[in-house]
Amino acid sequence: MNFDFTALDRNDCYKLLLGTVMPRPIAWTTTRDENGAINAAPFSFFNIFRPDTLGISIGSGTFSGLSKEFKDTLINIRATREFVVNLVPFCATQKMVVTSIPFSRVAALGFLLLSLTCKGAHAQPRGELESLPDLLNLLYLVVVEPLLPLLAGAGLFMLTRSHLIAAGLSALGFGAWGALYFSRLSLDGPLSGALYGLGVDGIASGLVALAGSGYVHLIGAEARRLGTERTAIAHAVGIAFAAMAFILLLVTHGSDKVGIGLYLVLLALSLGVSAATGSFGGVVATMALALIAMVHGVWGAALASGVRDAGQAYIAIFYVPPLLAPVLATAAIGRWLGGSLRARRSDDRPG
């Protein structure tokens, strides 16, 4: 979205500028040196000044240490008299952190490593970061990455038949990856970043893997009790609905009306599938997965739209437990109704 300040009322322009500095986001500033090499760096010291002039200012100091050298951003601005302030979307937070590291002047290589691209700024002939995720990156962030520990836990449980081994190996594996990743990003040193990644990614992945192993165990138990056909129907319906709900919320930009409608359909499915198959645990588990998929659909829609606070959309994950309570009730009622109908039919049979 582009705003032509020459065609807008000055008060509207002022409000737009206020939106760039409140509530104190980061000014991800891109500049070019005299040879055209691009530099990106985050600044927290920036503000608007003189409403009648409609300008944004950033404060670029010197590097710490005895040399007191000017930062590359200030050097480039003095040389070209131009810079672009980019607001940081949630999906680019880690990349923004990396650009705060005082690399040597290998800007082109740095942009390749960070997978950042540039497009022309409309108000100036210089680079503006293109930070919105493309479709593949978005799907990886909101679908593939969260599913990996779940699938790892399920696969390891099928191999080892142990919940603890499946969760432990997943926690170690994903924790090690997190330690390697954050050790390169932490401003407090590699050790601090490694410990953070090992703890956060390890614990979270271990818990998700435990849920995956528990789900596989549940499928096996229901297959022995209800039969393979009923179990397959119950879980296939729930997983298909989860995928459909995610896609609908993603393409409708997280519409509240669509979300409410999907939740009502979810309750109806909980009642109908449990009545038809006799499954309770499988229905509750797959509908919980559907609720989480709906949250990820809303989160993905927020990321795709490029809103600055897209990460706050994931707070909706905390609504899953209370929303799951009616699912438990409808699944229990459905199972009771289905059992009563099947018992009546068996009593009506002759002999």
Taking only the tens place, the pLDDT of each residue in 194-209 is 887 788 888 999 999 9
pLDDT digits (tens, 9 = 90+) for 216-253: 999 999 999 989 999 999 999 999 999 999 999 998 98
Would you say residue 114 has pLDDT above 60?
Answer: no
Would you say residue 127 has pLDDT above 50?
Answer: no
Positions of E strands within the chain: 27-32, 38-43, 46-49, 55-58, 84-86, 117-120, 127-130
Measured over the CA atoms of residue 193, residue 196, residue 199 and residue 203, the dihedral's sign is negative
Would you say residue 103 has pLDDT above 60?
Answer: no
Residue 336 token pair: 């009771």
Mean predicted confidence (pLDDT) in 272-280: 92
DSSP states along 73-93: HHHHHHHHS--EEE---GGGH
Q: Would you state the pLDDT for residue 88?
A: 72
Q: Would you state the pLDDT for residue 155?
A: 95
Confidence of residue 150 (pLDDT cuts 50, 70, 90): very high
Would you say residue 94 has pLDDT above 60?
Answer: yes
Its pTM stands at 0.62
CA distance 173 to 149: 9
Measured over the CA atoms of residue 278, residue 283, residue 285 and residue 286, the dihedral's sign is positive
Please tell me what DSSP assigns to residue 55.
E
Q: Is 155 helix (H, G, I), strand (E, B) or coil?
A: helix
Q: Would you state the pLDDT for residue 70?
A: 75
* Rama region for 253: left / alpha / beta (φ>0; ψ in -120 to 50; rest): left
Residue 321 C-beta-side C-alpha neighbours within 13 Å:
2
Q: Would you state the pLDDT for residue 64?
A: 55
Q: Would you state the pLDDT for residue 136?
A: 81
Report the greatest alpha carbon distance in the chain: 98
Mean predicted confidence (pLDDT) in 168-196: 80
Q: Would you state the pLDDT for residue 112?
A: 40
Q: Kindly list the domain boundaries of the chain, sorted by start residue.
A: 10-111+122-130, 154-224, 227-351
Q: Would you state the pLDDT for residue 51?
A: 53
Q: Would you state the pLDDT for residue 131?
A: 47
Mean predicted confidence (pLDDT) in 79-86: 79
Comparing C-alpha atoms, which of 29, 151, 134 is closest to residue 82? Answer: 29
**What's the gap between Cα 261 and its chain centre?**
23
Q: Would you state the pLDDT for residue 4?
A: 66
Are 256 and 299 contacting, i.e. CB atoms less than 8 angstroms apart? no
Which of the two residues, 222 and 49, has the higher pLDDT score? 222
Mean predicted confidence (pLDDT) in 91-115: 57
Task: Reply yes or no on domain 10-111+122-130 having CATH 3.40.50.300.
Answer: no
Confidence of residue 17 (pLDDT cuts 50, 70, 90): low
Mean predicted confidence (pLDDT) in 110-124: 48
Looking up tokens 């409410």, which residue turns up? 260
Confidence of residue 115 (pLDDT cuts 50, 70, 90): very low
Helix-helix angle 145-160:163-183, to 10 degrees: 140
Would you say residue 117 has pLDDT above 80?
Answer: no
Confidence of residue 291 (pLDDT cuts 50, 70, 90): very high
Looking up tokens 């080892």, which residue turns up? 160
- Whole-number mean pLDDT of the chain? 78
Which of the two residues, 19 and 236, has the higher pLDDT score? 236
Strand partners, 48: 56
CA distance 349 to 351: 7
Are 294 and 246 contacting, i.e. CB atoms less than 8 angstroms apart? yes
Q: Would you state the pLDDT for residue 110?
A: 45
Query: Cα–Cα distances in Å, from 204 out to 21, 68, 148, 179, 324?
Result: 34, 42, 12, 13, 21
Lowest-confidence pick of 2-6, 31-35, 258-262, 279-283? 2-6
What number of H helices and E strands is found in the chain?
12, 7
Query: Cα–Cα distances in Å, from 284 out to 200, 218, 268, 271, 318?
Result: 28, 11, 12, 10, 17
Q: Would you state the pLDDT for residue 101?
A: 67
Lowest-confidence pick of 4-18, 166-180, 334-348? 4-18
Q: Would you state the pLDDT for residue 23?
A: 56
Comparing C-alpha atoms, which of 68, 75, 62 is closest to residue 107? Answer: 75
